[in-house]
Structure 1
Amino acid sequence: MNFSPRLVRIFQILLEQEEGGRISADDMAERIRISRRTLFRELESARRVLEPYGVQLKTRPGLALAGNRTALAAALMNQPVQVLNREERQDLLLYELLRAEEAQKLVVYAGRFQVSEATISHDLEDLRRRLEPLGLTITRNGVVQGSEEDWRKAMSGLVHEGVEYKTVDYLDPDTAMEQLFRGSAILSLLDQDILKRLLALLSAGRDCLGLRRFEQNSYIGLVIHLVIALERIRAGEPCRDAMHGLPEMEDSRQEARTLISLLEAEFALEFPDTEVDAVALHLRGSKLNSAGNHPDAHQEEILELARCFIEGFPGEQPALLGTDGQFIQGLVSHLEPTVIRLRNGLPIYNPLLKTLREQYPDLFERTRQAAGAMERRLGMRLSDEEIGFLTMHAGACFERAGQQHGRRVKAAVVCASGIGVSALLCARLEKTFGAQMDLEALSAPEAVSRQDVELFLTTFDVQGLPARTLKVSPLLPAADLRQIQTELAGLQAKPARGGVQAENLEDLLVQVEETARAVRMLQTGIVRIPTGTVYDPAVLIHEAACSLQGDTEILEQDLWRREQLGAVRAPEEGFALFHARTGGTARIQAAILLPAGGQYDNGLRGVLVTVLPADHTPPMQQLLAQVNRQMGQDAGFRQVLLSGPAQAAREATDRLLADFLRHGL
C-alpha cells in the first residue's frame, strides 16, 4: 500500500518515539508544518491505513503507535520515492548506485522512481558524465567502479548537496535532527536510526571530543561521514584502501581513536585502521571556530599564504584587510585546514556558494583573482567552494569598514492600511537587511505620492507606485530574500534619489501636534483582555470589539472582514494580529488578547489587536505600525505584553510612545 507523503512523515515521527512514548498534536503539527485541523484530517485516514499492519493509532493523551511497529517501519522503507524533478531523481539514483552491493536491472530503478526504463537509461548517461571528473565510471549494468577514495568523495559530495545551511545549536541532537538533517530527499536516505543515535552520542561527548571548536558546516560533514562509514561497516564493507602521503597528525589520530571507541561501544562493531585515518583527517582538516589552532610547523607557510592573498586585492583594499585583526585571525585559522584538504584531496562544501555568486559576483571574482598567488605558491587550484569561504571572510571585513553594501536604500513596505502585514514584514526585513535600507510601512494611497522611496515591497498587486516594486510573501522565503538582495545591490550602485521638498514651519508644527495627539490616544496603554483557550477568530474578534471604545458592531464587522482577507499570524513569535481600518472609532486603539493558562489550543500565546480610524492622520497610522512592528521585532517587548505583569507592560508601552514622540519631533 502506498501512503501519502504527509502520512509517511507522520508515521516516521511516531516511530521515532520510544515504545509507549507520545507526542502532542501541537508538536506534530509544528514539525510537519501544517495546522492542527489539517493534522486531524490526515489522522482520520490513518487508522484504516494502519490496520493491515496490525498497528493502532492512539490519540489520547498525545499521539502514539501501538502494535506491530516493525511491520509498519518495513512498509515505509518500501515506499516509492517522491521525486520533484530530474536533478533530484538523478541524485537519488546516484545514491542508490553508490550504495548498491550488486547490479540491479533498470526496471527496478524505474519502478522505484516511477519513470520509464528509457528515462533511467538517460539518467545513467548523465551520471556517467557527472562522475567522470571524480575518477569513477558506471558500467553498462549500472555498477559504479573506481577507487575507495574516489567513491568516498562522490558519496560525501552528493549528500552534502542536500544540506540546507541554517545557523542553529547544532550540538543539540534534537535541533540538529530537525533543522539540519530533515526535509531533504537525499538525507532522508541515510540510516535514520544511526543518525539519531550518532547525534546523541556526539552531543553527550562534545567536551571530551572537543566538538565545540567545530564550525557548523564542518560538524555536518563529520556526521555525514560517520553515518556513511557506520552503514558500510555494518554491511561488511569498510574502507580498506590505505591513504598515502598523510601529514603528521598523531593528535588527530588520538582524537579519532577516542571517538571511534565510543562508536564501537554504541554500535557494537569494529572500525579498521583505514577508517581511523579517514576520521582523523576530518578532525584535522575541519575549520575551527577559534583562531590560532594551526600547528607551529606550518605557521610560517600559512602566514605567507595569507600575505599573498591580501596583496592580491586591488587598490587600497590590501591596507584595509591587513589592518583588520579579526579578518587576519579568521583567515589564518581557515587557511591551515584548507591546505590540508587540498594536499589530501578532501573536498569542502559551501552551501552558500550559489548565493555568493549571485549576490556578490564582483567580490567573488576579486577574491578569485586575489587567490591566484596562493594557487601558484601551492601548485594547485582552489575550488569554487574554497573561494566562496574566502569571499565571506573578505566580505565581512569590507562590511565592517562600510565598503560592502555602500549607502542605505530608502525602501517601504506597502499594504492596504499600513499597520498590519506591512508592519510585521518590516520587522522581518530589518532583521535581515537593517544595515542596507531605511524602511517604513506605508498604505497604498500614501505610497503613490512618495517620490523619495527607491524600492517598494508589497504582498499584493498594486499599481502606480513611482519606483521599482517587488511582490513578496509575508514569510520571506529564501527566493524572496535573494531577489531583495539583488535589487538592493543594484540600487546601491546608483546615486540616491532626491528627497521630498522641505516643509515650511507651519507644516512642521501641524506634524508635531498630530504626533502628540496620536501618542495621547495610546497613553492609557494597551488594553489587556482575558479570554478562553480556544483559538476561534470570530469569537476572539467579538470579545475584542466589545472591549474597545466605539461602535462595537462596526468594529467587529471591520475586524472580521480584514481577517477573512488573510490571517496574520507569527507562530515563531507566538502571536497573531487582528487589525483593521474602521469607521467604528475616532481614535487609534491597541489591545492584547491573553488566553487562560498562557496559551491557545493552536500554540499561540496571545493576539494583538490594533484599529485605525478611517479618518486618520499620518502619525496615527505610523504609531500603530510601530506598535505592530515592535511586537514582531522586539522579543523583550513581546514577552512583557504576552506574559509580563500589567505594570511592566504599561512601562514598555510608555517607552515605545516616548521613542516615537522623540522621533517625530
Structure 2
Amino acid sequence: MKKMKLTERQKNIILMLLEDTSQAITTSKIADRLNLSSRTVKRDITMVEKWFSINDFKLIKKPGVGLIVDEDDNMRNLISDLLKMENIEKSYHKNDRIKFILSRLLMADQPIKYYFFTNYLKISDKTLTQDLGDVEKWLSDLNIKIVKKHGEGVYILGNKNSLRKAQINLIHESLDDTKRLDLIRDISLESSVELIEENDVYSMINRKTLDKVKRVLSGVFKSLNLKISDNSYIGLLVHISLTIERLLLEENIEVKKEYINNMSNSKEYMFSRIIVDDLEREFCISIPEEEISYIAMHIKGANIIGSDGSQKDADDIIEISRLTKKLLGDMSIIFSVDLVSDKRLEKDLKNHLGPALTRLRLGMKIRNPILDEIKGSYMEIFQAVNRIFSDKVYDFTKLDRSINIPEDEIGYITIHFAAAIERYIGLNGVIRVITACPTGVGTSRLVATKLESKFSNIQVVDNMSIMNISSEVLASMDVDLIIATVDINEYMEDGMLHGKDSIVINTLPSDQDYKKIEDKIKQILRKKIYNGSHERLENRLSYGHSKVGADKFVFSDAGIDKDLTGVSLDTGINKSIYRVSIDYYRLAESITYSTISGGNELIGACTNLISRDKSERDRIYTALKDRCDINMPYFEDLGLYLMHCKIKGVKSRLGFMNVVEEFESLSGYNGKRIQKKIKSVVVLILEERDLYAKDLFASISSRLVEDDEFLEAISCLDRSKIQYIVDQEIEKQVEKLADNSINKNRR
C-alpha cells in the first residue's frame, strides 16, 4: 500500500462507501450521515479519490448519481483491512477542540504557546482565538480566569476548589454511555486502557491511579454489601482519583473547620474513613481530614443503598415522602394519567430525591449526559417537572429558596416520569382506527383482522372504501388514525381529513409496516397525553396555596374544580381509584394548623381554623356547637379534644391545633365555662355524602388512640410528622379500596 495520510473524516467516508454494494451514494447523503456540510464532503472526496487511485482501487463517480466502489466483496474487505493500518491524521470538531484546550490548560503548570494548539489541532490563529473565547466562557462559570500574554502564551488562574471542579465537570461532559460503561467495567480491560490513553480529556487521570481507586471502591462496597448507582459511582471514582493525583503532588484543598466538624459526626464520614484507610494502604500516602470531609460530601450526594434496597440516609424520609406524593399528584393531573398508584414510580422517585436534595443543599453539581436527548424526546414532561419541582420543593422540604435547581437534576427526575408515562401508554393506551382500501370490502377487512390480532391497543371501528371517506364522516367519528393500503392523501382535498393521522401499509403488512404502525400509535398516544398539559400545568400553578389568616394555608375550591376539567382516564375501577386517590391527596394538602392559648373560646377557635369564608364559618360553628351539645368529644387520658361534625355542602377537611399551656380555661358549650387538661385539638369536618373521607377520618381517629407519637406530634405541632402519618393512613385506604375493587372484579 502506498503511503498517504487520511483524516478520520476521510476514512469514515471510505467506510461508508464500502457499506453499500448495490447503489451509488450521493454527496448529500454522506453529508447528512456524517453531519458535515456538502462543501466539506466535496473537498474530502477529492482526497478519497486520490487515495483510491494511488492504491489501484476502483472508485466510480457518476455525475448526478453518486459514488460507488467498483470492487468485489474480497477486495472491499481488503480495503477495510488496509484502512485499519492506515496512518490516520486525527481531526477535531469544535467541541473536541474546546475539550482538548481545556484539558491542556487544566493540567499545565506554565503558559502554553499558541503554536502548540494551532500545530496539534491543525487550525488557524483566527480559529484558535475563537475557540479560546468559548473556553473563557466555560471557565467563567467556575470563577476561573484565562490569561493570554503576547510572547508567553495562555494559562488559567483560579483557586484549587474551582480547578478541581473544572476537571471533574470536563470529564463528565466527555463521558458518553459507552465510555461510562467502560469505566464501570473492569478498568484493566484493554478497551478501558485505550479509552484513558487515547482520549485527551482522560489523560488528566493517570490510568494506574484510576485502576487502584476502582479496586479499593469495589472491595469496600462488596465488604459492606452496598450498591451505588452508575452515575454516582463514576463521580466518586473520578473525584477520588483526581484527589489522589493532587495529593501525590503534595497539593491540598482548604475546607472550613466548621464544615469538617459537622461532617465528622456523620455516617458518610465514617464510610469515607473506611475508603480512605484502604486508599492510604494502596498508595502509601496520608490523606488529611479536609480530604476525608470532601469525599464524605460526595458520598452524601451519592445514591448509596443497602442490599435490601433501603435508603441509607433516611433523615429526610418525611419530607421526601411528602414531596414525592405532591409530584405524583400534580403530574397525574397535568397529564391525565394515574401516576399516584404507580408504586414503582413512587419508589424510584423516593430513592432519587434523597440524594438529589443532598446535592442541592451541598451545592454539588451532577452532570446529565443525555439532557439534550431528554428535552428533545420529552420536552412537555421536562417543562412540567421543571415548573412543578422548582415551585414545590421549597414548600415541602427545608431547601433554602436561594438555591437554584439545575436542569441536569430536572432531567433525571424527568426520566422517571417519562418511563412511567411510557409504561402507562403501553398498558392502557388505546387508539380508534379506520382501515381503508379502494373498495372497502376484502383488503381493508383483512388488514383490520391482522391489526387487531397484532396490536392489543388498536380498536378498529370501521372498514371503509376510500371513496366513502369524507370530512362529514370523519367529523362524526371518534377516530385517531386511518390505516390505508393506498395513499389516501391523493384522493382527499386539503382539510378533508380533519387533522386525522393516516399511514399507508402493504395489503399483507410487513415487519416494517408493523414497526411504522407501532411508532404511529406511540406518537398519537403521547399527543393525547401531552395535549392540554401546558394549560393544566398553568392552572395547577395558578391556584397553588393561598394564605388565609396567620399560619393557615388552604386550596382554592375554584382551582381544584377547574383543574379536574379534562382529566380523562379509563372508565371503571382504575378511574374510580384514581379519583378517590386525588380527593384524599387534596384533603391532605388542605390540612390547616394553629396554636391556641388560655382565654380562647374552643368552638370558635376550631371554626376559625377550618373555615374558608364567613358563610362557611357560621354553618361550621353551628354544626360543631350542636355536636358538642350532644356529647363533649373530650378524651381526658389523652388530653385531646376530637371536634367533629357532618355538614352538607361543605367539603371534608382536617385541622390540628396544639395548646400553649397544658391547663386551659376555655368556653365550652351551652355558655358554660369548662376547665380541662388539654394538649391537642383535632378538627374533622365531614361532608354528609363523602363516604371515603368518613373511612379516612375513622382510621385517623383510631390512630390517635393507638399512636403516642401521633399525639406527641400534634401537641408540639410537628407538621411534617403529622402530614407523614396522615399520608400513611391515606395509603392504607387507597390500598384497601384497590384490593376490594380487584376482588369484586374477580367475582
TM normalised by structure 2 equals 0.44
Structure label with greater radius of gyration:
2
TM normalised by structure 1 equals 0.48
